[in-house]
Amino acid sequence: PEPLLQKYFDSVNGNFVVNRDLRRAVIFGRHDLLQDAPISKVDLLLCRNTLMYFNSEAQARIVQRLYFSLNPSGSAILGRAEMLFTHATAFTPVDLKRRVFRTVPKATTRDRLLLMSQGTRDGGQAHVPEARLRELAFEHDSIAQLLLDADGTLSAVNGQARDKFHITARDVGRPFQDLEVSYRPAEIRGALDRAVQQRSEVRLSDIPWTVSGALRHFDTAVCPVFEDGGTLLGIRVSFHDITEMRALQIELQHSKQELETAYEELQSTNEELETTNEELQSTVEELETTNEELQSANEELETMNEELQSTNEELQAMNDELRARGTEVNRANAFLESIFASMASAVVVLDRDLCIKVWNDRATDLWGVRADETHAMHFLGLDIGLPVVELRQPIRDVLSGNHERATAILPATSRRGRPIECRVSVSPLHGADRVPAGVILFMEEISAEKLA
How do residues 244-286 score in pLDDT, each as one tens digit? 888 898 899 999 999 999 999 999 999 999 999 999 999 999 9
- The answer to whether the 140-241 and 344-451 domains have the same CATH topology is yes
Residue type, 452: A
Residue 145 in 3-state DSSP? strand
Beta carbons within 8 Å of 152's beta carbon, 6+ residues apart: 175, 176, 177, 192, 235
Q: Which residue has the higher pLDDT, 42 or 116?
A: 42
Evaluate if residue 452 carries a pLDDT over 50. no
Contact by Cβ (8 Å): 67, 101: no
Residue type, 106: K
Beta carbons within 8 Å of 327's beta carbon, 6+ residues apart: none
Evaluate if residue 117 carries a pLDDT over 70. no
Helix, strand counts (H, E) of the chain: 12, 16
pTM of the model: 0.36
Q: Could you tell me the pLDDT band of residue 119, with boundaries at 50, 70 and 90?
A: very low
Distance CA 172, CA 184 (A): 18
Contact by Cβ (8 Å): 359, 336: no
User: What percentage of the chain has pLDDT greater than the value 90?
Assistant: 22
CATH topology for 140-241?
A: Beta-Lactamase (3.30.450)
pLDDT tens digits along 335-384:
777 777 677 789 999 998 999 999 988 889 889 899 888 888 998 888 88
Burial tier of 423 (Cβ tally within 10 Å: 0-12, 13-18, 19+): middle
Q: Specify the CATH superfamily of domain 344-451.
A: PAS domain (3.30.450.20)
Beta carbons within 8 Å of 232's beta carbon, 6+ residues apart: 150, 196, 224, 225, 226
Distance CA 445, CA 411 (A): 10
Residue extents of the structural domains in the chain: 1-125, 140-241, 268-342, 344-451
The CATH architecture assigned to 1-125 reads: 3-Layer(aba) Sandwich (3.40)
Of 359, 432, 424, nearest to 398 by C-alpha is 424
DSSP run (H or E) holding 67: helix 56-69
